[in-house]
Structure 1
Protein backbone atom coordinates (compact mmCIF):
# COMPACT_ATOMS: atom_id res chain seq x y z
CA UNK A 1 0.00 0.00 0.00
CA UNK A 2 1.43 3.38 -1.02
CA UNK A 3 1.79 6.32 1.35
CA UNK A 4 -0.87 8.28 -0.56
CA UNK A 5 -3.36 5.43 -0.35
CA UNK A 6 -2.60 4.98 3.34
CA UNK A 7 -3.45 8.65 4.02
CA UNK A 8 -6.79 8.21 2.28
CA UNK A 9 -7.58 5.23 4.47
CA UNK A 10 -6.55 6.91 7.72
CA UNK A 11 -8.36 10.19 7.22
CA UNK A 12 -10.48 10.45 4.05
CA UNK A 13 -12.43 13.36 5.60
CA UNK A 14 -9.29 15.47 5.88
CA UNK A 15 -8.10 14.45 2.42
CA UNK A 16 -11.46 15.39 0.93
CA UNK A 17 -11.31 18.81 2.53
CA UNK A 18 -7.72 19.29 1.39
CA UNK A 19 -8.62 18.36 -2.20
CA UNK A 20 -11.68 20.62 -2.26
CA UNK A 21 -10.09 23.77 -0.81
CA UNK A 22 -8.54 24.87 -4.14
CA UNK A 23 -12.05 24.83 -5.63
CA UNK A 24 -12.98 27.83 -3.52
CA UNK A 25 -10.83 30.02 -5.76
CA UNK A 26 -13.14 29.23 -8.66
CA UNK A 27 -16.48 28.63 -6.96
CA UNK A 28 -16.76 31.72 -4.80
CA UNK A 29 -16.04 34.35 -7.52
CA UNK A 30 -18.53 32.80 -9.96
CA UNK A 31 -21.10 32.36 -7.19
CA UNK A 32 -20.72 36.04 -6.29
CA UNK A 33 -21.35 36.87 -9.93
CA UNK A 34 -24.49 34.73 -9.94
CA UNK A 35 -25.79 36.26 -6.72
CA UNK A 36 -25.40 39.75 -8.12
CA UNK A 37 -26.92 38.79 -11.48
CA UNK A 38 -29.93 37.13 -9.85
CA UNK A 39 -30.73 40.05 -7.55
CA UNK A 40 -30.30 42.56 -10.37
CA UNK A 41 -32.71 40.45 -12.45
CA UNK A 42 -35.42 40.80 -9.83
CA UNK A 43 -35.00 37.75 -7.60
CA UNK A 44 -34.95 38.29 -3.85
CA UNK A 45 -31.91 37.50 -1.72
CA UNK A 46 -33.51 34.40 -0.19
CA UNK A 47 -34.77 33.22 -3.59
CA UNK A 48 -31.29 33.63 -5.05
CA UNK A 49 -29.69 31.61 -2.26
CA UNK A 50 -32.32 28.87 -2.63
CA UNK A 51 -31.52 28.58 -6.35
CA UNK A 52 -27.90 27.80 -5.42
CA UNK A 53 -28.99 25.40 -2.68
CA UNK A 54 -31.46 23.43 -4.80
CA UNK A 55 -30.18 23.67 -8.38
CA UNK A 56 -26.43 24.04 -7.71
CA UNK A 57 -25.47 23.87 -11.35
CA UNK A 58 -23.41 26.89 -12.38
CA UNK A 59 -24.39 27.85 -15.92
CA UNK A 60 -27.85 26.33 -15.47
CA UNK A 61 -28.56 28.80 -12.67
CA UNK A 62 -27.77 31.79 -14.88
CA UNK A 63 -30.00 30.33 -17.60
CA UNK A 64 -32.75 29.55 -15.09
CA UNK A 65 -32.87 33.11 -13.80
CA UNK A 66 -32.67 34.65 -17.28
CA UNK A 67 -35.49 32.48 -18.63
CA UNK A 68 -37.75 33.04 -15.62
CA UNK A 69 -37.26 36.81 -15.86
CA UNK A 70 -37.95 36.77 -19.60
CA UNK A 71 -41.29 35.05 -18.98
CA UNK A 72 -40.42 31.72 -20.62
CA UNK A 73 -42.85 28.85 -19.99
CA UNK A 74 -41.95 26.89 -16.89
CA UNK A 75 -41.74 23.60 -18.81
CA UNK A 76 -39.19 25.15 -21.16
CA UNK A 77 -37.13 26.42 -18.22
CA UNK A 78 -37.03 22.89 -16.79
CA UNK A 79 -36.17 21.28 -20.14
CA UNK A 80 -33.32 23.71 -20.86
CA UNK A 81 -31.91 23.37 -17.34
CA UNK A 82 -31.93 19.58 -17.64
CA UNK A 83 -30.42 19.77 -21.12
CA UNK A 84 -27.41 21.76 -19.92
CA UNK A 85 -26.95 19.30 -17.04
CA UNK A 86 -27.25 16.24 -19.26
CA UNK A 87 -23.44 15.93 -19.14
CA UNK A 88 -23.99 14.20 -15.80
CA UNK A 89 -25.24 11.23 -17.81
CA UNK A 90 -21.62 10.90 -18.87
CA UNK A 91 -20.16 11.60 -15.42
CA UNK A 92 -22.24 9.02 -13.57
CA UNK A 93 -21.17 5.86 -15.43
CA UNK A 94 -17.50 6.86 -15.15
CA UNK A 95 -17.47 6.99 -11.34
CA UNK A 96 -20.15 4.31 -10.76
CA UNK A 97 -17.58 1.45 -10.65
CA UNK A 98 -16.02 3.04 -7.57
CA UNK A 99 -19.28 3.48 -5.62
CA UNK A 100 -20.48 0.84 -3.21
CA UNK A 101 -24.07 -0.39 -3.23
CA UNK A 102 -24.98 2.04 -0.48
CA UNK A 103 -28.18 4.09 -0.56
CA UNK A 104 -26.33 7.05 0.98
CA UNK A 105 -24.63 7.66 -2.37
CA UNK A 106 -27.97 8.59 -3.97
CA UNK A 107 -28.62 11.96 -2.24
CA UNK A 108 -24.93 12.82 -2.46
CA UNK A 109 -25.13 12.89 -6.25
CA UNK A 110 -26.52 16.40 -5.74
CA UNK A 111 -22.95 17.35 -4.82
CA UNK A 112 -21.55 16.12 -8.15
CA UNK A 113 -20.19 19.01 -10.21
CA UNK A 114 -17.67 19.21 -13.03
CA UNK A 115 -14.82 19.83 -10.61
CA UNK A 116 -15.87 17.21 -8.05
CA UNK A 117 -16.16 14.71 -10.90
CA UNK A 118 -12.63 15.52 -12.05
CA UNK A 119 -11.34 15.04 -8.50
CA UNK A 120 -13.32 11.85 -7.95
CA UNK A 121 -12.08 10.32 -11.17
CA UNK A 122 -8.53 10.76 -9.91
CA UNK A 123 -8.98 10.05 -6.19
CA UNK A 124 -11.59 7.29 -5.88
CA UNK A 125 -9.56 4.58 -7.69
CA UNK A 126 -6.71 5.12 -5.21
CA UNK A 127 -8.91 4.62 -2.13
CA UNK A 128 -10.29 1.62 -0.33
CA UNK A 129 -14.09 1.23 -0.76
CA UNK A 130 -14.69 2.14 2.90
CA UNK A 131 -12.91 5.50 2.51
CA UNK A 132 -14.63 6.69 -0.67
CA UNK A 133 -17.93 7.81 0.83
CA UNK A 134 -16.26 9.95 3.51
CA UNK A 135 -13.88 11.55 1.02
CA UNK A 136 -16.67 12.36 -1.43
CA UNK A 137 -18.95 13.82 1.24
CA UNK A 138 -16.17 15.99 2.65
CA UNK A 139 -15.05 17.35 -0.73
CA UNK A 140 -18.60 17.76 -2.04
CA UNK A 141 -19.91 19.58 1.02
CA UNK A 142 -17.05 22.07 1.06
CA UNK A 143 -17.66 22.86 -2.60
CA UNK A 144 -21.43 23.18 -2.08
CA UNK A 145 -21.16 25.40 0.99
CA UNK A 146 -18.62 27.64 -0.73
CA UNK A 147 -20.98 28.04 -3.69
CA UNK A 148 -23.90 28.94 -1.43
CA UNK A 149 -21.73 31.35 0.59
CA UNK A 150 -20.49 33.06 -2.56
CA UNK A 151 -24.05 33.39 -3.82
CA UNK A 152 -25.15 34.98 -0.55
CA UNK A 153 -22.22 37.40 -0.65
CA UNK A 154 -23.01 38.39 -4.22
CA UNK A 155 -26.71 38.81 -3.50
CA UNK A 156 -26.14 40.94 -0.40
CA UNK A 157 -22.99 42.93 -1.21
CA UNK A 158 -22.17 42.17 -4.84
CA UNK A 159 -23.27 45.54 -6.18
CA UNK A 160 -21.02 47.40 -3.74
CA UNK A 161 -18.09 45.15 -4.60
CA UNK A 162 -18.49 45.84 -8.32
CA UNK A 163 -18.68 49.59 -7.74
CA UNK A 164 -15.48 49.59 -5.71
CA UNK A 165 -13.55 47.21 -7.97
CA UNK A 166 -15.05 47.23 -11.51
CA UNK A 167 -12.33 44.89 -12.77
CA UNK A 168 -13.85 42.08 -10.70
CA UNK A 169 -16.83 42.00 -13.04
CA UNK A 170 -14.54 41.28 -15.99
CA UNK A 171 -12.63 38.50 -14.23
CA UNK A 172 -15.42 36.57 -12.46
CA UNK A 173 -16.88 34.71 -15.46
CA UNK A 174 -13.50 33.10 -16.23
CA UNK A 175 -12.66 31.83 -12.74
CA UNK A 176 -14.56 28.53 -12.81
CA UNK A 177 -13.74 27.48 -16.41
CA UNK A 178 -10.07 28.24 -15.76
CA UNK A 179 -10.11 26.13 -12.59
CA UNK A 180 -11.75 23.21 -14.36
CA UNK A 181 -9.23 23.41 -17.20
CA UNK A 182 -6.33 23.33 -14.75
CA UNK A 183 -7.80 20.23 -13.09
CA UNK A 184 -8.57 18.36 -16.31
CA UNK A 185 -5.38 19.05 -18.27
CA UNK A 186 -3.22 16.66 -16.18
CA UNK A 187 -5.56 13.87 -17.29
CA UNK A 188 -4.48 14.46 -20.90
CA UNK A 189 -1.42 12.28 -20.45
CA UNK A 190 -2.53 9.69 -23.01
CA UNK A 191 -4.16 9.67 -26.44
CA UNK A 192 -7.69 8.89 -25.22
CA UNK A 193 -8.01 11.89 -22.92
CA UNK A 194 -6.22 14.26 -25.26
CA UNK A 195 -8.51 13.40 -28.17
CA UNK A 196 -11.55 13.58 -25.88
CA UNK A 197 -10.64 17.09 -24.74
CA UNK A 198 -9.93 18.29 -28.29
CA UNK A 199 -13.18 16.84 -29.66
CA UNK A 200 -15.31 18.22 -26.81
CA UNK A 201 -13.73 21.68 -26.98
CA UNK A 202 -13.98 21.88 -30.77
CA UNK A 203 -17.61 20.74 -30.70
CA UNK A 204 -18.58 23.37 -28.14
CA UNK A 205 -16.81 26.16 -30.01
CA UNK A 206 -18.34 25.21 -33.37
CA UNK A 207 -21.87 25.00 -31.96
CA UNK A 208 -21.52 28.41 -30.32
CA UNK A 209 -20.01 29.85 -33.49
CA UNK A 210 -22.93 28.64 -35.58
CA UNK A 211 -25.53 30.02 -33.18
CA UNK A 212 -26.39 27.06 -30.92
CA UNK A 213 -25.03 28.14 -27.50
CA UNK A 214 -27.75 26.40 -25.47
CA UNK A 215 -26.86 22.91 -26.68
CA UNK A 216 -23.11 23.47 -26.95
CA UNK A 217 -22.19 22.06 -23.53
CA UNK A 218 -24.32 18.87 -23.54
CA UNK A 219 -23.52 18.16 -27.20
CA UNK A 220 -19.80 18.65 -26.57
CA UNK A 221 -19.99 16.25 -23.60
CA UNK A 222 -21.64 13.61 -25.79
CA UNK A 223 -19.11 14.09 -28.61
CA UNK A 224 -16.20 13.84 -26.16
CA UNK A 225 -17.64 10.69 -24.59
CA UNK A 226 -18.17 9.05 -27.98
CA UNK A 227 -14.60 9.88 -28.99
CA UNK A 228 -13.25 8.42 -25.73
CA UNK A 229 -15.15 5.15 -26.04
CA UNK A 230 -14.37 4.84 -29.75
CA UNK A 231 -10.63 5.02 -29.00
CA UNK A 232 -11.01 2.74 -25.97
CA UNK A 233 -12.74 0.05 -28.03
CA UNK A 234 -10.40 0.18 -31.03
CA UNK A 235 -7.54 -1.87 -29.46
CA UNK A 236 -10.05 -4.53 -28.37
CA UNK A 237 -11.39 -4.83 -31.91
CA UNK A 238 -7.89 -5.15 -33.32
CA UNK A 239 -7.06 -7.84 -30.76
CA UNK A 240 -10.24 -9.77 -31.59
CA UNK A 241 -9.47 -9.60 -35.31
CA UNK A 242 -5.97 -10.99 -34.83
Structure 2
Protein backbone atom coordinates (compact mmCIF):
# COMPACT_ATOMS: atom_id res chain seq x y z
CA UNK A 1 0.00 0.00 0.00
CA UNK A 2 1.32 3.44 -0.96
CA UNK A 3 -0.09 6.10 1.35
CA UNK A 4 0.34 9.84 0.94
CA UNK A 5 -0.98 11.89 3.84
CA UNK A 6 -1.27 15.68 3.86
CA UNK A 7 1.61 16.22 1.46
CA UNK A 8 2.41 19.89 0.98
CA UNK A 9 5.28 21.27 -1.06
CA UNK A 10 6.58 24.83 -1.01
CA UNK A 11 9.30 25.91 -3.43
CA UNK A 12 10.37 29.37 -2.43
CA UNK A 13 7.18 31.34 -1.85
CA UNK A 14 5.11 29.14 -4.14
CA UNK A 15 2.74 26.53 -2.70
CA UNK A 16 3.32 23.92 -5.42
CA UNK A 17 1.33 21.02 -3.95
CA UNK A 18 -1.45 21.43 -1.43
CA UNK A 19 -2.97 18.80 0.87
CA UNK A 20 -2.30 15.72 -1.26
CA UNK A 21 -3.93 12.61 0.21
CA UNK A 22 -3.87 9.27 -1.61
CA UNK A 23 -4.15 5.61 -0.69
CA UNK A 24 -3.02 3.32 -3.50
CA UNK A 25 -3.08 -0.46 -3.11
CA UNK A 26 -0.37 -2.42 -4.89
CA UNK A 27 -2.59 -4.78 -6.79
CA UNK A 28 -1.76 -4.47 -10.48
CA UNK A 29 -2.90 -1.09 -11.72
CA UNK A 30 -1.79 1.65 -14.10
CA UNK A 31 -2.72 5.10 -12.80
CA UNK A 32 -2.36 8.25 -14.85
CA UNK A 33 -1.49 11.62 -13.37
CA UNK A 34 -2.79 14.42 -15.56
CA UNK A 35 -3.20 18.16 -15.34
CA UNK A 36 -2.12 21.45 -16.92
CA UNK A 37 1.48 22.63 -17.19
CA UNK A 38 2.74 23.77 -13.80
CA UNK A 39 0.15 21.69 -11.94
CA UNK A 40 2.81 19.93 -9.85
CA UNK A 41 2.78 16.50 -11.53
CA UNK A 42 6.56 16.06 -11.76
CA UNK A 43 6.95 17.76 -8.39
CA UNK A 44 4.75 15.09 -6.83
CA UNK A 45 7.13 12.36 -7.98
CA UNK A 46 10.16 14.36 -6.85
CA UNK A 47 8.54 14.85 -3.45
CA UNK A 48 7.95 11.12 -3.06
CA UNK A 49 11.55 10.19 -3.90
CA UNK A 50 12.93 12.90 -1.63
CA UNK A 51 14.38 15.20 -4.29
CA UNK A 52 11.99 17.90 -3.06
CA UNK A 53 11.42 18.28 0.68
CA UNK A 54 7.68 18.12 1.18
CA UNK A 55 5.83 17.96 4.47
CA UNK A 56 3.33 15.30 5.46
CA UNK A 57 3.70 11.55 5.69
CA UNK A 58 4.43 9.09 2.90
CA UNK A 59 4.35 5.34 3.59
CA UNK A 60 4.96 2.19 1.58
CA UNK A 61 3.57 -0.89 3.27
CA UNK A 62 3.40 1.09 6.52
CA UNK A 63 7.07 2.04 6.39
CA UNK A 64 8.36 5.58 5.78
CA UNK A 65 8.90 5.94 2.07
CA UNK A 66 12.33 7.48 2.63
CA UNK A 67 13.51 4.21 4.19
CA UNK A 68 12.31 1.95 1.35
CA UNK A 69 13.13 3.97 -1.76
CA UNK A 70 14.85 0.93 -3.25
CA UNK A 71 11.34 -0.53 -3.67
CA UNK A 72 10.47 2.24 -6.14
CA UNK A 73 11.63 2.64 -9.71
CA UNK A 74 11.56 6.25 -10.92
CA UNK A 75 12.04 7.17 -14.56
CA UNK A 76 12.37 10.96 -14.97
CA UNK A 77 11.08 12.84 -17.97
CA UNK A 78 14.55 13.71 -19.18
CA UNK A 79 17.30 11.37 -18.13
CA UNK A 80 20.68 12.98 -17.66
CA UNK A 81 22.82 11.00 -20.08
CA UNK A 82 25.77 12.17 -22.14
CA UNK A 83 25.07 10.98 -25.68
CA UNK A 84 28.68 11.68 -26.64
CA UNK A 85 30.02 9.29 -24.02
CA UNK A 86 31.28 6.12 -25.76
CA UNK A 87 29.01 3.49 -24.31
CA UNK A 88 26.87 0.86 -25.97
CA UNK A 89 23.20 0.02 -25.55
CA UNK A 90 23.81 -3.22 -23.65
CA UNK A 91 26.21 -1.55 -21.20
CA UNK A 92 23.69 1.22 -20.46
CA UNK A 93 20.96 -1.32 -19.71
CA UNK A 94 23.26 -3.43 -17.55
CA UNK A 95 24.15 -0.37 -15.48
CA UNK A 96 20.63 -0.55 -14.07
CA UNK A 97 21.61 -3.68 -12.14
CA UNK A 98 24.74 -2.30 -10.51
CA UNK A 99 22.88 -0.99 -7.50
CA UNK A 100 22.19 -4.59 -6.57
CA UNK A 101 25.20 -6.57 -7.77
CA UNK A 102 27.73 -3.78 -7.29
CA UNK A 103 30.11 -2.17 -9.76
CA UNK A 104 32.87 -4.24 -11.39
CA UNK A 105 31.39 -7.52 -10.17
CA UNK A 106 30.55 -10.44 -12.47
CA UNK A 107 27.07 -10.37 -13.99
CA UNK A 108 24.95 -13.15 -12.53
CA UNK A 109 22.78 -15.54 -14.52
CA UNK A 110 19.70 -13.85 -13.15
CA UNK A 111 20.87 -10.46 -14.38
CA UNK A 112 21.79 -11.90 -17.78
CA UNK A 113 18.35 -13.45 -18.06
CA UNK A 114 16.69 -10.15 -17.18
CA UNK A 115 18.85 -8.36 -19.74
CA UNK A 116 17.95 -10.77 -22.53
CA UNK A 117 14.26 -10.58 -21.67
CA UNK A 118 14.23 -6.77 -21.82
CA UNK A 119 16.27 -6.67 -25.03
CA UNK A 120 13.74 -8.99 -26.64
CA UNK A 121 10.61 -7.35 -25.25
CA UNK A 122 11.71 -3.85 -26.24
CA UNK A 123 13.14 -5.02 -29.60
CA UNK A 124 16.67 -3.89 -28.82
CA UNK A 125 18.58 -7.06 -29.69
CA UNK A 126 19.79 -5.69 -33.01
CA UNK A 127 20.99 -2.53 -31.29
CA UNK A 128 22.72 -4.09 -28.29
CA UNK A 129 26.24 -3.31 -29.58
CA UNK A 130 25.43 0.11 -31.02
CA UNK A 131 26.63 3.30 -29.37
CA UNK A 132 23.85 5.31 -27.74
CA UNK A 133 24.82 8.26 -29.92
CA UNK A 134 23.81 6.23 -32.98
CA UNK A 135 20.22 5.40 -32.06
CA UNK A 136 16.97 7.34 -32.39
CA UNK A 137 15.12 9.15 -29.62
CA UNK A 138 12.49 6.41 -29.39
CA UNK A 139 15.14 3.71 -29.24
CA UNK A 140 17.02 5.63 -26.55
CA UNK A 141 13.85 5.87 -24.46
CA UNK A 142 13.44 2.10 -24.75
CA UNK A 143 17.04 1.69 -23.57
CA UNK A 144 16.46 3.97 -20.58
CA UNK A 145 13.26 2.14 -19.64
CA UNK A 146 15.09 -1.19 -19.92
CA UNK A 147 17.86 0.12 -17.66
CA UNK A 148 15.32 1.22 -15.05
CA UNK A 149 13.56 -2.15 -15.17
CA UNK A 150 16.67 -4.26 -14.65
CA UNK A 151 15.65 -4.37 -11.00
CA UNK A 152 12.13 -5.58 -10.15
CA UNK A 153 10.19 -3.34 -7.75
CA UNK A 154 6.73 -2.89 -6.27
CA UNK A 155 6.09 0.64 -7.51
CA UNK A 156 7.03 2.27 -10.82
CA UNK A 157 6.82 6.02 -11.43
CA UNK A 158 7.30 7.29 -14.98
CA UNK A 159 7.32 10.99 -15.82
CA UNK A 160 6.05 11.58 -19.39
CA UNK A 161 7.66 8.42 -20.80
CA UNK A 162 6.06 8.84 -24.24
CA UNK A 163 7.04 12.43 -25.02
CA UNK A 164 8.90 12.84 -28.30
CA UNK A 165 9.08 9.17 -29.25
CA UNK A 166 7.68 7.22 -32.18
CA UNK A 167 4.42 5.31 -31.96
CA UNK A 168 6.10 1.90 -32.17
CA UNK A 169 8.41 2.66 -29.23
CA UNK A 170 5.44 3.95 -27.25
CA UNK A 171 3.53 0.73 -27.85
CA UNK A 172 6.49 -1.46 -26.89
CA UNK A 173 6.98 0.44 -23.64
CA UNK A 174 3.28 0.40 -22.82
CA UNK A 175 3.02 -3.33 -23.50
CA UNK A 176 5.86 -3.86 -21.04
CA UNK A 177 4.02 -1.76 -18.46
CA UNK A 178 0.94 -3.90 -19.00
CA UNK A 179 3.08 -6.95 -18.22
CA UNK A 180 4.22 -5.31 -14.97
CA UNK A 181 0.58 -4.68 -14.16
CA UNK A 182 -0.13 -8.40 -14.64
CA UNK A 183 2.57 -9.04 -12.02
CA UNK A 184 0.55 -6.94 -9.53
CA UNK A 185 2.81 -3.89 -9.69
CA UNK A 186 1.64 -0.33 -9.14
CA UNK A 187 2.50 1.92 -12.09
CA UNK A 188 2.09 5.70 -11.91
CA UNK A 189 2.51 7.67 -15.13
CA UNK A 190 2.55 11.42 -15.65
CA UNK A 191 0.88 11.89 -19.03
CA UNK A 192 -0.53 14.74 -21.09
CA UNK A 193 -2.39 13.16 -24.01
CA UNK A 194 -6.10 13.19 -23.13
CA UNK A 195 -6.99 11.16 -26.22
CA UNK A 196 -5.25 8.04 -24.88
CA UNK A 197 -6.18 8.37 -21.22
CA UNK A 198 -9.07 5.90 -21.14
CA UNK A 199 -7.07 3.45 -23.24
CA UNK A 200 -3.97 3.54 -21.06
CA UNK A 201 -5.14 4.03 -17.49
CA UNK A 202 -7.33 2.12 -15.05
CA UNK A 203 -7.73 5.20 -12.86
CA UNK A 204 -6.63 8.81 -13.22
CA UNK A 205 -5.48 11.46 -10.78
CA UNK A 206 -6.40 14.91 -12.07
CA UNK A 207 -3.98 17.31 -10.42
CA UNK A 208 -3.75 21.07 -10.32
CA UNK A 209 -1.77 21.90 -7.18
CA UNK A 210 -4.24 19.76 -5.30
CA UNK A 211 -6.17 16.66 -6.34
CA UNK A 212 -9.20 17.74 -8.36
CA UNK A 213 -10.40 14.20 -9.07
CA UNK A 214 -9.26 10.63 -8.55
CA UNK A 215 -11.14 7.70 -9.93
CA UNK A 216 -12.13 5.67 -12.96
CA UNK A 217 -10.55 6.92 -16.19
CA UNK A 218 -13.88 7.16 -18.02
CA UNK A 219 -15.27 9.47 -15.34
CA UNK A 220 -12.03 11.48 -15.18
CA UNK A 221 -12.37 12.34 -18.87
CA UNK A 222 -15.86 13.80 -18.41
CA UNK A 223 -16.06 17.54 -19.22
CA UNK A 224 -16.94 18.47 -15.64
CA UNK A 225 -13.75 16.98 -14.21
CA UNK A 226 -11.55 18.29 -17.02
CA UNK A 227 -12.86 21.82 -16.74
CA UNK A 228 -12.37 21.90 -12.99
CA UNK A 229 -8.80 20.68 -13.42
CA UNK A 230 -7.54 22.46 -16.51
CA UNK A 231 -9.50 25.68 -16.15
CA UNK A 232 -9.43 25.76 -12.36
CA UNK A 233 -13.02 26.91 -12.51
CA UNK A 234 -16.58 25.71 -12.38
CA UNK A 235 -17.68 23.49 -15.28
CA UNK A 236 -18.05 25.57 -18.42
CA UNK A 237 -18.85 25.14 -22.06
CA UNK A 238 -15.21 25.18 -23.16
CA UNK A 239 -15.02 21.40 -22.97
CA UNK A 240 -18.58 20.52 -23.70
CA UNK A 241 -18.33 17.49 -25.94
CA UNK A 242 -17.11 14.35 -24.16
CA UNK A 243 -16.25 12.72 -27.46
CA UNK A 244 -13.76 15.48 -28.23
CA UNK A 245 -11.44 14.34 -25.46
CA UNK A 246 -11.63 10.59 -25.85
TM-score bracket for this pair, using the shorter chain length: under 0.3
Higher strand proportion: 2
TM-score, length basis structure 1: 0.23
Higher helix proportion: 1
Specify which structure has the bigger relative contact order, considering alpha-carbon pairs within 8 angstroms and separated by 6 or more residues.
1
